[in-house]
Amino acid sequence: MYRLYLKMSDGTGNVAIGTVATFDVPTANQQENVRDYKVQIALTGTTAQRPLGTDPDMYSNNGQLQPGVQYFDSTLGYVIVSDGSGLWRNPANGDSV
């Protein structure tokens, strides 16, 4: 399964602190990824690419994602969280997204 990860620089490498980049971990840009982007934010992708509990690389609970999986939805522009029932939630207000 191909996953993307949103990561942020902590400023200890060659990239300015707070710089955010998307990586396909661990294959692409592995050296830069490890050296410069040490703060992992979340899995990332569009709304259509959200992980499912039935995906082979995801932990499931009766076919649903475990609660608490974080995903940066690039369509929405913010991190969302799985609630364990098959829905994704906006952590700021609890709304289903």
**pLDDT single digits (tens) 25-64:** 655 556 767 788 889 899 999 999 999 999 988 888 788 9
Considering Cα of 65, then 70, then 75, then 78, what sign does the dihedral take? positive
pTM of the predicted model, to two decimals?
0.85
Find out whether the peptide bond into 91 is cis, omega within 30 degrees of 0. no
**pLDDT single digits (tens) 60-95:** 878 899 999 999 999 999 999 999 999 999 999 999
Count the neighbouring beta carbons within 10 Å of the beta carbon of residue 95.
Answer: 11
**pLDDT single digits (tens) 12-28:** 989 999 999 998 865 55
* Strands of the sheet with 39-45, listed across from one edge: 20-23, 4-8, 39-45, 70-73, 78-82, 88-89
